[in-house]
Amino acid sequence: MASTGQILKDQAEGMLKEFDVTVVCTVPSYGGTIEDKYKTQGLYHEEINGVKVIRVRVPEFTKANRNSRIKNIISYCFGAMRACRKAGKQDYIFTISQPPVIGGLLGVLGKWQKKARLIYCIQDFNPEQIMAVGYFKNKPMLKAMMALDKFSCRQSDLIITVGRDLVETLKNRFKGKKVPAHVMINNWIDEKEIYPLPSDDENVVEFKRKYGLENKFVIMYSGNIGLYYDLEELVRVIKKFRKGYTMTGQYEAGMKTADGREVVFAFVGAGSVLDKLVMYSEAHHFENMIFIPYQDKEKLIYSLNAGDVHWCVNAKGIKGVSCPSKAYGIMAAGKPVLGVLEAGTEIRGLIEDSGCGKCCVPGDYTEIEALIRWYIENADTDEFKNMGINGRRYLEKNLTKDMSINKYISCLNNL
């Protein structure tokens, strides 16, 4: 469901031309629930498009409940070690930075067990990410987490990060001394699966009809509705563009584009903050805020094309810590980007280099409001339309799936 999972699936399948690939992962459970067919065994062996998969059974969980998530992660940790023993001989162990810190440590254990080379792909730096949003404040525990993840970095034969700003964070961790071998490779989306569709495409029209987006100007957020995106504060900015009744019973019509389309804010996805956003919109009687569940991968092209402009946001302090991969999907669909990203971050750099959107810094809610207003007022202009075209062209030239996967293959072959 999540972008990281989709990226890893593409990567595993794309590397089959050079390597035999075995993946250790959980049973399907991104939303917290698990199908009955995955509740009877500890491990499940499957093969998907030539990739061997060992799935680990984990308990169901609620994303908003910290204890249930911890129980889920610990269960996966022990299950993954068992699955690794079942995986046979391996020359390379490839691990990512999820679950936080544990992902790296599992890679180290796999390296020792298989006497293999370790590649540690850091999609998000932790505990830095946890500290940035104040999710956990126990200083001794945070210090221990930092020490453990630095240990995983030192044990790695190669570290791969997904942004230039993340490279700087790695260097800062080690104060520029004895920095582990590293390289930066951009994430991606399959540009052959996600591409621009005409507004009258029957599947796009059907998606809009299903969720009440017909004849609307849609400002869309698509992806994880979680802690690291400052969405609770952004919704308070959106309130200024509300259509509906105020707490005092006064009706507010909301803004319209020059061609008369009403503005709708659509949130597609799920996550720990979703319930709070829904409660806020209900409490303040929003009529132009719509919540849409995660779409199956094969339907993602229709939901992304249903948006006229897309949010790409991070909370303040996430620079060098995390890289919102949703930008690649927006660019692939040929849609303008409304970026709320710190200067010097990888994704803001891509937006500025390609000319596919406008950006401001997190926390500047006055400027965020101004950007929303600009997109609404300029919805029919050539400048607006060219942003989406620019993004797609830039992605086709610099950020295709095969380009990044071939870089992964080259890195392993050169170890």
Question: Residues 83, 166: one domain?
Answer: no
Determine, yes or no, domain membership for 129. Answer: yes
Domain tally, the chain: 3
Which residue carries 């939901």 as its tokens?
303
| Token pair in block for residue 111 | 């390296």
Using CA atoms of 108, 109, 114, 115 in order, give the dihedral in degrees to the nearest 10. Answer: 50
Q: Is 25 helix (H, G, I), strand (E, B) or coil?
A: strand
Residues 99 and 230 in one domain: no
Give residue 253's pLDDT. 64
The residue whose two tokens read 């802690």 is 227
Residue 13, domain member (yes or no): no
Cα end-to-end distance, the chain, whole Å = 31
Task: Flag whether 193 is in a domain.
Answer: no
Say yes or no: 302 and 159 in one domain: no
Residue 12 lies in a domain: no
Structure tokens at 75: 């269960």
Measured distance CA(149)–CA(79) in Å, rounded: 20
Residue 100 lies in domain: 89-188+401-415
Shared domain for 384 and 409, answered yes or no, is: no
Whether the bond into 180 is cis, omega within 30 of 0: no
Residue 173 lies in a domain: yes
Supply the pLDDT for residue 249: 64
Compute CA distances 112 → 83, 91, 155, 214, whole Å.
Answer: 15, 11, 10, 56
- Give the per-residue pLDDT at 317: 86
Rounded distance, CA 123 to CA 97, Å?
A: 6
> Is residue 8 in a domain?
no
Q: 248 vs 252, 253, 279, 384, CA distance in Å?
A: 11, 15, 18, 36
Residues 49 and 174 occupy one common structural domain: no
Residues 93 and 160 in one domain: yes
Closest CA to 295 of 203, 413, 398, 369: 203
110/94 Cα distance (integer angstroms): 9
Cα 161 to Cα 184: distance, rounded to the nearest angstrom: 5
Which pLDDT belongs to residue 70?
Answer: 87
Closest by CA position to 115, among listed 90, 133, 138: 90
- Do residues 53 and 20 make contact, with C-beta atoms less than 8 angstroms apart? no
214 with 302, same domain: the answer is yes
Sign for the pseudo-dihedral over CA of 250, 256, 260, 262: negative
Mean pLDDT per 10-residue interval, the chain, length 415 residues:
87 96 94 91 96 96 83 93 94 95 96 97 94 80 96 98 96 93 97 96 97 96 85 89 68 79 94 90 89 91 98 91 93 98 96 97 94 95 97 98 97 94
Residue-wise pLDDT tens digits, 186-244? 999 999 999 999 999 999 999 999 999 999 999 999 998 887 788 888 998 998 887 76
Q: What is the pLDDT of residue 87?
A: 94
Whether residues 293 and 323 fall in one domain: yes
State how far the Cα of 12 lies from the Cα of 51, in Å rounded to an integer: 7
Q: Are residues 273 and 385 in the same domain?
A: yes
Q: Residue 160 has what pLDDT?
A: 98
User: Do 31 and 119 fall into the same domain?
Assistant: no
Residues 99 and 84 in one domain: no
C-alpha span between 55 and 41 (Å, rounded): 10
pLDDT in tens, 377-406: 999 999 999 999 999 999 999 999 999 999
What is the layout of strands, in order, in the sheet containing 22-26? Answer: 22-26, 51-56, 43-48
Both 214 and 230 in one domain: the answer is: yes
The CATH number that applies at residue 242 is 3.40.50.2000
1 within domain boundaries:
no
Residue 177 counted as domain residue: yes
- For helices 401-413 and 3-14, angle between their N-to-C axes, nearest 10 degrees: 60
